Structure 1
Amino acid sequence: MWEAIQGQRKKRDIEDSQGGWEREKERCAADICYWFDKWVYTYDPRLTGQRNADGSRKSPYVQFKLWPKQREAINWLSQRVDAAEEGLIEKSRDTGATYLTAGFALHQWLFVPGFKATFGSRKVDYVDKKDNPDAIFAKLRIMLRRLPVEMLPEGFAWAQHDNYMRIANPETGAVISGEGGDDMGRGGRSSVYFVDEAAFVPNAESVEKALSGNTECVIWVSSVNGMGNLFARKRHSVLKPHQIMRLHWRDDPRKTEAWAEAKKSSFSDPTTWASEYDIDYSASVEGVCIPAAWVESAKRVMALEPRLKPSNAGVVGLDVGAGKGKSVSVPRKGPVVLPPLSRGSPDTTGTAWWGLEAAVDNGCDALNFDAPGVGAGVSSTLMHRNDDETGADADRAGRFAHLTVVAVNTGTPPSARLWPDGRTSEEMFGNQKAEIWWLCRTALQRTHEHVLWIEDKEDGKEHPVSDLLALPSGDQDSDALCLQLSLVKWGRNERGKIVIEKKEALQRRGISSPDHADALMLTFVEPPETATAAMFLTSRHR
């Protein structure tokens, strides 16, 4: 009743305003987020068990008020369609992804002549089935039926233009269609094609081939289902960061930590929560070095622990990209990791200067970089760049005179570090790479325990704040870092020592090189005691 009253008030406001409905439609066409917020409704039958302040039951139909992340997702969809390029939405359950994609398609259907959106799912019934409110077309009809009649296309008749898996706009020729099962992608051409729950589609490679002739803009939408599927491979190895949208339950302002704990405890299998809500691709993968739950705690610890501050000095880890691979710099100031930066240029000289600038700009006094392979070009630049420099180049080099620059080969033996159990790194690890990954793992485990302690939860344990590790989030490079940390596995070599999964093994699992994570690991290499390792410094700049 309340929604109907509010709807009538909005309609009267439009009718009484200068320009009336034509002006309102023009505004809606130009601003999709405005249209969502003002005219779109969703359906949630769980609300019927709740009461309004006057004692009446709540309506299951709720006006769509976009959260900031949903608003970002809508604009992201517009960019993918405008660019005619592929995209992927990885989501927690109950974050409204299906309503967002359906609402986006409906908006385009209303206001873009000739537009065609197609929805596909592994079963036809998931796309359209009579009296099933969970089907995609049911969501479309819920939104469409609650629009004011003044906004519907001229000549639109429900009996004529709303059919099984097809809704037509008689005024503009726009269409929303549906497909399912093995027929996905074979039904003509589309402006955009949404593949629902893509991680669970069987024979996804065949579907992808069929879609290649259907549209340039395929949007893969899904909660995660481990690493052994096309959706995961596209997420980690194929698509670029700007083609990926993440909708996590923490983006929903209605959901709290208390809600998460209650929801998590309702599952008998913890991997269900991890994969379907925490977007953890490695939830069912054995031997993951750094669990995703630890990473999530590290992303939140700065907000929970006021004593946690960055140190005055710091170190930048520089992972040097090969060929088309990106170079990544990650600054760490004590227990606080600052947002990473990435660079796509293959110019090793430019990468060397770029890494040094990242160190200075972030107030760090050291730069550790991976020396083998392509890193050798950076090493040569750092060692010899100043030999003949004069003028402006010498002045530029002088900015970095205070930096200690260390070439790192993680394939070398580990250090003589003593661990709490009395063993040394030489006894525990197969190489330096395993040692520094374990140092990071230990810091993140302590961070997770500390967060649990702050929240007074089981298994919580207080640790000195200097032993913690706070991770950045919210930008593409930071999110890439956090994701990669939970993809790499550990094992033991023939001598029983801990080793970290090699890049070749990661590639066989469909995971590209974890450059952001490797850059962070380089910050855990302690500087050598000898001055000879400070390669960049020359007598001219000391």
Structure 2
Amino acid sequence: MNPNSNTAAAPAARDAEAALIADIAGFSRDPLGFVLYAFPWRSAGTALAERDGPDDWQRDILRAVGEGLMTAGEAIQVAVASGHGIGKSALVAWLLLWSLSTHEDTRGVVTANTDSQLRTKTWAELAKWHRLCLCKHWFTLSATALYAAQAGHEKTWRIDMVPWSERNTEAFAGLHNQGKRIVVVFDEASAIPDQIWETTEGALTDSNTEILWLAFGNPTRNSGRFRECFGRFKHRWRHRQIDSRSVRITNKKQIAQWVADYGEDSDFVRVRVKGQFPRAGSMQFIGSDLITAAIQTEARSFAHDALVIGVDVARFGDDQSVIYARKGRDARTFPPIKLRNVDTMTLAGRVAEEARRLKADAVFVDEGGVGAGVVDRLRQLNVNVIGVQFGAKADGLSPTDAVERYANKRAEMYGNLRQALKAGLALPDDQELIADLTNIDYGFNARDEIQLEKKEEMKKRGLASPDLADALALTYAYPAMAGAGAGRHLGGGGGGRLVSEWDPFG
């Protein structure tokens, strides 16, 4: 290893650098030794002053990688399914820094389930540990790469952050580094498509090369290649399932609350706490296949279809208020209106304007928190508004053939929306809406009722509040009938009665 050195440096500095190079080189097959040596554990005045090293499970994985390097000719494939908050991003950062620091001209790729996860979680954690590393001056960290500072090695000695794309798999097909070291990391691997796994597997065929393929994530899907690392292909992978309760750094109070809310044996706790795969299907409430079909579906509506508006009211500075209009199976023709940093009176005025312009038959508003003020003002403006409490009891207004039972009104509305998607609802090709709809996970409470992941929990996962999806789901809060806006009042949160038995999915 020949990092840049200052030719004018004092002999003592050169000697110290030479000693550092020799020490780090000694850890080429000892990731755990590198981690214990390269970071200032228990050093006063540092971010690690109160920590004495990796957790037990992290030490086990680091040892497993080191042991795998002793087996010539075989790729080291490690899969870790875990609960929430166990420190997997830190482990990813350590392994990346170790792999670069202990083998000249190492090449690698890091990807994740979403671009947001990759940038705000995986890469942000790498930046943190790079700053703490004894040999940080050997490498330059950019927004998308960590590469050697030594001149002439910038393109051959590097790790790149690469968002996956099913239409563009070249980054994963070109992972060749004959005779040296290759590292591939899949973060939140459950949501990475099989095509990317297959392309990567086909690329990792170089002989006489150290190959590390590391897959981490919550086990949110009961199918796909990540699941198969623990099933059909488990003989190829060193696999571990980590219960969050067994890890020192996890928030035990939060975990206990999840267990109380969803039940010890619920799929939510299995996935988010125990690191176990759900019993069947996926924890994703609305599947990507439904969204893809809805984008390709022709937008159609009829004269007898009611035009309804859903309004999600922002509560925090980084959220947005959304006004979403839908007519029958057409949720595409009227673009949703997205508003940030508006007060409740301004929002109510804009909603009233849209309701009159579109001759809306009903306006459903999230009445929780500050939304109550919007509902009150709309009633003053003589708008046919119905307040909806997301946390209220489900009303049983799902399609007659639905077998699901819902824990609250929000889950029921999303259940109605999912049924509508199955029946041919047309959606716009709006990436923000797509992300909102597909990011929401679910579980079951103690009464075996469907309960959606809370917005607060989504934010802890680095996801945005699903404001667009909530506004669309609100249009399925209660049935409506064309002409109901002409001075007639609907039932539900507004306190009246239903004016029709209109089927919102028909």
Same fold flag (TM > 0.5) = no
The TM tier, using the shorter chain, reads: 0.3 to 0.5
- TM-score for both structures, normalised by structure 1: 0.40
**TM-score of the pair, normalised by structure 2:** 0.43
| Larger fraction in helix | 1
